């Protein structure tokens, strides 16, 4: 396998885009990535696009061909990749394998979702299809309910509190307030979280990521060619994926994601690193309890210590392991197909020293963790600068 690097990164703002359609968002992100890489579209050999539910959200399938057309990239192949909320990271993984194998030299990888054109209840049902439709969604268990069950069990087993979960949202909103691409650029307090409307006990509105429109894209090349494009290539030194049971009731544990544990272990082995070597992490915080479980599953903290660590500020910028410097899904937003690529872009910006207002000091190695559904798919990538 050839070593692979990111030479360009670009994204739209995340939020409610009433004046832009699906293809508009994709083109905007793609153009920004190309401009950042300093190349034109005719240099691209292939593309991969992560998107979860375009057929149900906007009535459009055959996404690869659509984007090849509207991005002016015909006749190169662009392939749609789907893995629920991990679609973006799965697309990135496909791009890494395409470049690493030598099949392609310059690949664009993107992620996109247009979610706000439908009502909240309809979108929740569509997203629920990422779980076990027959044994969860059909019986009324949408993702807030499923993650609420995880939270309840975590609270029972490890004495995790609602204040600890709320501190995750507070920290991520503080970071998001410094990110011009974030959906919510406003700080909140623990009291704000605790008094917000209950969605599924113990989770409240401010424990939950929002419904979002947005797109993001990166350009990949072999590392040995990267310096002909940019002075600051960011190498992807590990890419790992794992699966678990689709339904929560079929899993070994409700207080962690085995897929994350396995993917994380594989990624660390591939990179020849340990959790202590990571300078910052972008974590899949679809709900505040998800970030707490993830920082435990990845080995940053022992099981049961993720909640106290969050409350104590150990995951804040300047802390032990700065987590979700972009604002995470919670504050930056969660256009499900785009989230994994946005995480990669935040890693690029941190490693280039371009994360304005939220820069991690002396950042050399970053990690991203992206989850599909309630944990049936997990993807972990590790990045480094020179």
Q: What pLDDT, in 10s, does the model give residues 58-71?
A: 999 999 999 999 99
Residue whose token pair is 């990669």: 344
My answer on whether 63 and 173 are in the same domain is no
Catalytic residue among 17, 173, 334, 381, which?
334
Provide the pLDDT confidence category of residue 312 given band limits of 50, 70 and 90.
very high
My answer on whether 305 and 176 are in the same domain is yes
My answer on whether 354 and 245 are in the same domain is yes
My answer on whether 343 and 261 are in the same domain is yes
Query: What is the rounded distance in angstroms from the CA atom of residue 359 to the CA atom of residue 283?
Result: 17
Structure tokens at 268: 């660390």
Q: Is 208 a catalytic residue?
A: no
My answer on whether 303 and 223 are in the same domain is no
φ, ψ at 324 (rounded to 5°): 60, 55
> Which of the two residues, 140 and 185, has the higher pLDDT score?
185
My answer on whether 291 and 334 are in the same domain is yes
My answer on whether 89 and 135 are in the same domain is no
My answer on whether 89 and 179 are in the same domain is no
> How high is the pLDDT of residue 134?
93
pLDDT higher than threshold 90 for residue 386: no
Query: What is the rounded distance in angstroms from the CA atom of residue 362 to the CA atom of residue 229?
Result: 24
Provide the pLDDT confidence category of residue 172 given band limits of 50, 70 and 90.
very high
Residues 242-291: tens digit of each pLDDT: 999 999 999 999 999 999 999 999 999 999 999 999 999 999 999 999 99
Averaged pLDDT, 284-308: 98
pLDDT higher than threshold 90 for residue 367: yes
Arithmetic mean of pLDDT over the chain: 97
Residues 92-131: tens digit of each pLDDT: 999 999 999 999 999 999 999 999 999 999 999 999 999 9
Residue 248, domain CATH: 3.40.47.10
Query: What is the rounded distance in angstroms from the CA atom of residue 90 to the CA atom of residue 52?
Result: 11
My answer on whether 166 and 303 are in the same domain is yes
Number of domains in the chain: 2
Catalytic residue among 85, 208, 286, 332, which?
85
Residues 183-209: tens digit of each pLDDT: 999 999 999 999 999 999 999 999 999
Q: Is 334 a catalytic residue?
A: yes
CA distance readout (Å), 150 to 160, 216, 286, 287, 339? 11, 30, 13, 10, 22
* 57: CB partners within 8 A, 6+ apart: 113, 114, 115, 117, 118, 123, 126
My answer on whether 96 and 59 are in the same domain is yes
Averaged pLDDT, 216-232: 96
User: Residues in the chain, how many?
Assistant: 386
**Enclosing domain of residue 244:** 126-209+237-384
Provide the pLDDT confidence category of residue 178 given band limits of 50, 70 and 90.
very high
My answer on whether 181 and 247 are in the same domain is yes
Averaged pLDDT, 19-36: 97
My answer on whether 160 and 269 are in the same domain is yes
């Amino acid at each position: 396998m050839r070593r692979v690097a990111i030479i360009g990164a670009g994204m739209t703002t995340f939020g409610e885009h009433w004046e832009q359609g699906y293809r508009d968002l994709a083109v905007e992100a793609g153009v920004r990535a190309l401009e950042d890489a300093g190349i034109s579209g005719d240099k691209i050999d292939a593309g991969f696009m992560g998107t979860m539910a375009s057929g149900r959200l906007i009535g459009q399938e055959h996404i690869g061909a659509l984007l090849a057309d509207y991005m002016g990239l015909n006749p190169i192949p662009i392939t749609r990749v789907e893995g629920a909320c991990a679609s973006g990271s799965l697309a990135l993984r496909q791009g890494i394998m395409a470049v690493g194998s030598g099949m392609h030299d310059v690949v664009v990888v993107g992620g996109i979702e247009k979610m706000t054109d439908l009502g909240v209840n309809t979108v929740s049902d569509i997203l629920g299809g990422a779980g076990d439709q027959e044994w969860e969604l059909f019986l009324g268990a949408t993702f807030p309910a499923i993650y609420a069950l995880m939270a309840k069990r975590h609270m029972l087993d490890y004495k995790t509190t609602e204040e600890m979960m709320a501190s995750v949202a507070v920290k991520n909103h503080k970071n998001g307030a410094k990110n011009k691409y974030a959906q919510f650029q406003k700080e909140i307090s623990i009291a704000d979280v605790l008094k917000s409307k209950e969605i599924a006990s113990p989770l409240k509105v401010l424990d939950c990521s929002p419904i979002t429109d947005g797109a993001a894209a990166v350009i990949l090349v072999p590392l040995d060619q990267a310096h002909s494009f940019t002075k600051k290539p960011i190498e992807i030194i590990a890419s790992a994926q794992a699966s678990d049971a689709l339904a929560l009731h079929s899993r070994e544990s409700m207080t962690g994601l085995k897929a994350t544990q396995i993917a994380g272990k594989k990624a660390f082995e591939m990179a020849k690193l340990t959790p202590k070597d990571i300078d910052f992490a972008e974590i899949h915080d679809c709900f505040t309890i998800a970030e707490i479980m993830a920082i435990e599953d990845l080995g940053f903290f022992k099981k049961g210590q993720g909640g106290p660590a969050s409350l104590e500020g150990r995951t804040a910028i300047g802390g032990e392991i700065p987590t979700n410097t972009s604002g995470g899904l919670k504050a930056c937003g969660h256009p499900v197909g785009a989230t994994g690529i946005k995480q990669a872009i935040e890693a690029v910006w941190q490693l280039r020293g371009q994360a304005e207002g939220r820069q991690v000091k002396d950042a050399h190695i970053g990690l991203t963790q992206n989850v599909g559904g309630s944990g049936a798919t997990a993807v972990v990538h590790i990045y480094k600068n020179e």
